[in-house]
Amino acid sequence: MNKLFLTIVLLFTISITNATIKTTIVQSNTINKIQKIASKKDIRTDTIHVDGNCNMCKSRIEDAALIKGVKKATWDKYKDQLIVIYDADKTTLLTIEKSIAKVGHDTPNCKADDKVYSKLPKCCLYREGGAHTH
């Protein structure tokens, strides 16, 4: 009877130990996978000069900057600066600048097409010296 009881206790202890080991291994593997994914991301914050004048420009510029890979884009109309947070594995600053130029706003590396620029609302014509911000 004692041997049977000890055998049962031993088997129970072994099964609990195996379950604990398996859980620890699964948790460890999960943590390793998360760390690998996190370490692979190349999240960057950069500033791009973007010409514009007003709050309509702000909306247009920020919307154009929000392409795949961009997490956040905020344009300051007083400094003509766009702050972008993006995943450098998914996009580049040049790609972001091209997207902004397509909607009529100049950046250091991409000039907006004159036809696109000329279709902007009058208050947004930043190349004209007398345009006012609002």
Residue 105 phi, psi (nearest 5) = -120, 130
pLDDT tens, position by position, 54-94: 999 999 999 999 999 999 999 999 999 999 999 999 999 99
Question: Number of structural domains, the chain?
Answer: 2
Q: Tell me what percent of the residues of the chain surpass a pLDDT of 90.
A: 64
Please report the pLDDT score of residue 41 as a whole number.
Answer: 83
Cβ count near 127 (within 10 Å): 13
Q: Both 12 and 63 in a single domain?
A: no
Q: Both 114 and 54 in a single domain?
A: yes
Cβ count near 39 (within 10 Å): 8
Q: Both 56 and 118 in a single domain?
A: yes
Q: Both 22 and 59 in a single domain?
A: no
Q: Is residue 81 part of a domain?
A: yes
Q: Is residue 93 part of a domain?
A: yes
pTM value is 0.69
Of 100, 37, 42, the closest CA to residue 69 belongs to: 42
Q: Is residue 133 part of a domain?
A: no
Task: Find where tokens 């696109």 sit.
Answer: 116
Q: Both 51 and 5 in a single domain?
A: no
Instruction: With a cut of 90, say whether residue 31 has pLDDT above it.
Output: no
Q: Both 16 and 67 in a single domain?
A: no
Of the pLDDT bands very low, low, confident and very high (cuts 50, 70, 90), residue 8 is confident
Q: Both 79 and 21 in a single domain?
A: no
pLDDT tens, position by position, 11-21: 666 666 665 66
Between 116 and 8, the higher pLDDT residue? 116
Q: Both 27 and 57 in a single domain?
A: no
Of the pLDDT bands very low, low, confident and very high (cuts 50, 70, 90), residue 10 is low
Residue 33 structural domain: 1-40
pLDDT tens, position by position, 116-130: 999 999 999 999 874
Q: Both 95 and 82 in a single domain?
A: yes
Partners of 76 in beta bridges: 81
